[in-house]
A and B are shown apart, each in its own frame.
Chain A
Amino acid sequence: MDWSWGQLLSIIVSVTLVSNYVLSRFLGLCPFVNSSDRTDKAFGMGMAVTFVMTLASFVTYLLYTFVLRPDAPLFRSMLPDAMRPYGLEPVLRTVSYILVIASLVQLVETFMRKMIPALYKSLGIFLPLITTNCAVLGVTLLNTTDAPEELSLFLATFQGFFAGLGFTFAMPLMSGVRERLAQLPVPEPLKGAPITFICTGLMALAFLGFAGMA
């Protein structure tokens, strides 16, 4: 596979800063808002999402290339004639991707319950909810079907990993802000989720500074 260092660098800058999945594309806001009230929890959630994103990018890329694409080699002969020009992509894309993500999340969950029970308990429902995390699905889609330009397997996995790191980078920042918010006399109607969303918006405004970086 051909790639250059400049390409890698531009992927890193792009997915962590310029179009950060949380702060610029506004994907994956549910774990961002719900698991960012404490830094250790935020970091744990970030790591879990990074793991899932990286592996999901890898697996879905293979899935896409070998099964879903119109010119994919597998199952091609079994398709009815009317579907041949489109391949399995329009039918199975979302379902199969979610299936991949869900099994990866199951893996993380099993691992965490055994190895880091405290973190497992504090993440609660939001750990299995990574399954339906739009950021993870977003990364896999932007790697394969909706990619602005076609990526290789390595670049897709690389992009998935750094998209996760970008998420992990934003999480502790937000948790720091929220730990401070907990001590502030925030007006009653704004307490909790509203002020968190306002902070997310203001953080996104600050991240606009990276716009146009290439």
Chain B
Amino acid sequence: MDDRKFIVSSSPHIRGPEDITRIMWAVVVALAPAVVWGIFVFRDARPAGTRWCHWMPLYPAFIAALAVATAVATEAAIQRLRGIRVTIRDGSAIVTGLLFAMIISPCVPWFVPIVGSFFAIAIGKHCFGGLGCNIWNPALIARAFVLSSYVFPLTSVWHYPADSITMRLGKETDAITRPTPLAAVKDPLKSLNKQAEAANKRALLEKVRADNRTPYRDLLFGNIGGCLGETSALLLLLGGVFLMLRGYVKWQIPIPYLATVALLGWALPVKVQGEWIAFAGDPVFHLLAGGLFLGAFFMATDMVTSPITKKGMIIFGIGCGLLTVIIRIYSGYPEGVCYSILLMNTAVPLIDRYTKPVKLGAPR
């Protein structure tokens, strides 16, 4: 008998073509249109006050390249230091770096992507043991970190595509600070209290909102100020649908997430001159503005940091939506996608535990 026919190995015995490399590169492909478009739209963005990089064409591309390069270099260095196999070819570090670049302002100084990407890979990922072990999404935790470290460049300096023209005309402008669409709607509400009391507060709220609203078309095609990768909702949606068709992203997270945001964005009450006004929000605006599509399709669905079971995923999606809207409407920040996903990441181990499927035939 020929012994060589009997190969003893442990399961799995049949492997699909999918592996980390393939999935990661698919994510890169899905992100690419939004990144390229972001770089194009913000081609004239400059950091505030840093003279030496003003000659540089395509500063956002420089930021993105720095983020990706730092992520890959950190990954390689740490894997070498830990004495494990260097796996920079699998693309996971590239995805982390790219995602991080997409969620910061294109006008950040050059050290922000370096610090952020290093934090993402070193603290966010390798402290827990490397790929597949992290509890929080590395790119998001890095954003939360740099946001609390460099408050001004990350929250106050944005670039508006329309400003490119003023800059071309030779006007001496560094970066123009203007609010992003979400802040433009949120901030005027605070100053309403100083104005004369209106008789019809709902009408007043609607008027203020209408005056400061960014048109849907601009939100869809990316004619807005904001983070590098979240300009065009349409391109992000396209990338998300691509990943869903490939089966890397299950509908159980993004769809409940988006639905919750739309519902609560419309329903949750806002305080106007001491009176709470509910059911006055604009669901479409809440869906298109900010980084919601980026968060819902690319961040919340990170396989490592989201629940395993389908029921758990739905709970996770709804939780993210709830926290996003609560932070958007009630907290000090205009945008809540980043923090809401991080907070739900914290709860994932517990969600996984309580949604564990019952064994077939187990007593209930």
Contact = CB atoms under 8 A, between A and B. Distances in A.
Interface residues on B, range: 35 or more
Interface stretch (B101-109, B127-135, B198-206): B127-135
Nearest to B136: A202
Contacts of B141: 202, 205-206
Given A177-B135, A184-B128, A209 B338 contact: yes
A interface majority secondary structure: helix
Given A195-B128, A212-B331, A179 B345 contact: no
B82 to A, nearest CB: 6
B347 A173 contact: yes
Contact of B123 (A198, A209, A211): A198
B346 A203 contact: yes
A209 B135 contact: no
Interface in A59-91: none
Contacts of A180: 135, 349
Contacts of B323: 209
Contacts, number: 90
A181 interface: yes
Interface residues of A, number: 28
Contacts of A179: 349, 353
Interface centre among B323, B340, B343, B347 (most CB of A within 10 A): B343
Nearest to A209: B339
B244 interface: no
Given A173-B350, A210-B331, A205 B342 contact: yes
Contacts of A199: 135
A172 B350 contact: yes
A203 B82 CA distance: 25
Interface in B305-351: 323, 327, 330-333, 336, 338-340, 342-343, 345-350
Nearest to A18: B331
Nearest to B327: A209
B50 interface: no
Contacts of B286: none
B135 A210 contact: no
Closest 4 CB pairs of A and B: A212-B332, A209-B339, A176-B349, A206-B342
Interface of A: 39, 172-173, 176-177, 179-181, 184-187, 190, 195, 198-199, 202-203, 205-214
Given A173-B350, A213-B331, A214-B330, 7 more contacts: A185-B130, A186-B127, A187-B129, A195-B127, A202-B136, A209-B336, A209-B339
